[in-house]
Amino acid sequence: MSFDETAIKVENLSKCYQIYNKPHDRLKQSLFPRLQALIGKAPQQYFREFWALRDVSFEIKKGETVGIVGRNGSGKSTLLQMICGTLNPSGGTIKINGRVAALLELGAGFNPEFTGRENVYMAATLYGLTRPQIDKRFERIAAFADIGEFIEQPVKTYSSGMYVRLAFAVIAHVDADILVVDEALAVGDAVFTQKCMRFIREFQKHGTLLFVSHDTGAVQNLCESAIWLSHGQVRMTGTSKEVSETYLQFTLQEVYGEEAKLISVASDQTVGGPASETSPEDPHTLAVDYGAVAKVRDNTAVATGWKTGQAEIQSVSLTKLSAGQQGIYEGGERVRMTVRAKAHGPLEKPILGFLIRDRLGQDLFGENTLPFTDRTPIRVKPGATFEGVFEFRLPMLPNGQYAVMASVADGDCYENIQHHWMHDALIVNVASSKIRYGLVGIPFERVELKVTND
């Protein structure tokens, strides 16, 4: 790949911090090693090294959206600061092709003694804008931030949400080629977060996005690929789905510790393409003809995930309860989801559940058996087979492919161990000849337009 096609190129990047146990050790380190070298003694080190990053390498193409995941302390923020130029590396190189705008941790970039207006001018100047350019954009920046008269007040008086509003408003108006966002949106309110997401979606059409989040669903939703950092090193790179699923297993394993060992269930087979359209034999009488058909394919034989060996999912099925041809789903009909499992060890508080996700990994809906077992506790003995039954009305789904995740666990809502987690247990292919709106829909029984004379 030529550098003209590259937005960010990182090679063998490292960052080492010197950690001193006592304040006066810092003074010793600045004086004694030189004196020791002058008299022919081996210089003594009065600090210990902490490598926040070590030998990190990756390349991001122009127009690509890449997620970075990892636990706190894994080096994510250090990496972003070096990419943005606010921190110098101890080793390695970073090559940036374009203007970078960043929303890093709360508190970075603004002077708390300056007003919001003064900070806008200062930050935009640092991004390379001239005074006339900032003058021209200031009203749009203020409108995007929507903090009212507080823009004339010192930033030190702002709430965390107001701070993020102003910071994001600036980076949204500096004509950046590369946008770096680090968790800061988590403190924003729902309305402003939606505004930011609309901007990010639009930015993705022409710019490069580096997105850091602990929310693996958001990473799958926004990003094509992902990088997993662990203890300052790249643990894994790949598609956002692959990295997010592996990272989820890793974090759960750390929570469980020695209590349960999660063993990966891998597959070399890939999910098939969408099912062909078929006309349903028993259409509903609805106000809108959605022209939709959904077909469900059992994928449990090749589904990935993990197991502990304590319990195992045997089957996942979706059955039509309304009238009509089995295996053909239009949306709006009553269906039954059944998750069947077998216990290999005692389960004191068994839980069976499922989630339906879209192709971006967003959780659309799901349920588990806790509402039942909270009222009627059940214990499962080793060797016993048990199943969770869920009856509901299937929503109207837009065109595309959907996956059903199923799991069997032991515990309660707050503390549990997932003994078998199965990604993509069922594949639901939806084909519709009509336009749908939103992530899921409902069957409308009446839609009309009236003209009334007041």
Residues 297 and 230 in one domain: no
Residues 190 and 154 in one domain: yes
Residue 440 lies in a domain: no
pLDDT along the chain (454 residues), means of 10: 80 91 84 81 84 93 93 89 89 92 73 92 91 94 91 90 88 91 68 80 91 84 91 92 90 84 69 37 48 81 91 93 77 89 95 89 90 92 95 84 92 92 90 67 74 77
Residue 194 lies in a domain: yes
Residues 237 and 268 in one domain: no
Residue 382: its H or E element = none
**Count of other CB atoms within 10 angstroms of residue 398:** 19
Residues 313 and 238 in one domain: no
Q: What is residue 188's predicted lDDT score, i.e. its pLDDT?
A: 59
Q: What are phi and psi of 21, to 5 degrees?
A: -75, -35
Please say whether the beta carbons of 192 and 161 come within 8 A: yes
DSSP 441: B
b/e code 220-239 from CB counts within 10 Å (16+ = b) = bbbbbbbbbbbebbbbeeee
Residue 107 lies in a domain: yes
Distance CA(106)–CA(94), nearest Å, equals 24
Residues 16 and 131 in one domain: yes
Residues 217 and 276 in one domain: no
**Structure tokens, 318:** 């979706």
Residues 14 and 66 in one domain: yes
Residues 232 and 270 in one domain: no
Q: What is residue 280's predicted lDDT score, i.e. its pLDDT?
A: 36
Residue 37 lies in a domain: yes
b/e code 74-105 from CB counts within 10 Å (16+ = b) = bbbbbbbbbbbeeeebeebebebbeebbbbbe
Q: How many domains is the chain partitioned into structurally? A: 2
- C-alpha triplet 245, 248, 253: angle, nearest 5°: 130
Q: What is residue 373's predicted lDDT score, i.e. its pLDDT?
A: 92
Residue 445 lies in a domain: no
Confirm whether pTM is higher than 0.95.
Answer: no
* CATH number for the domain that contains residue 118: 3.40.50.300
Residue 448 lies in a domain: no
Residue 404 lies in a domain: yes
Listed residues 221, 247, 273: the one ending a domain: 247
Residues 130 and 223 in one domain: yes
- C-alpha triplet 120, 121, 124: angle, nearest 5°: 80
Listed residues 213, 247, 281: the one ending a domain: 247
Q: What is residue 189's predicted lDDT score, i.e. its pLDDT?
A: 65
* CATH number for the domain that contains residue 384: 2.70.50.60
Domain of 372, in residue numbers: 263-432
Q: What is residue 454's predicted lDDT score, i.e. its pLDDT?
A: 62
In 3-state terms, what secondary structure has residue 269? coil
Residues 101 and 215 in one domain: yes
Residues 314 and 221 in one domain: no
Residue 196 lies in a domain: yes
Residues 279 and 424 in one domain: yes
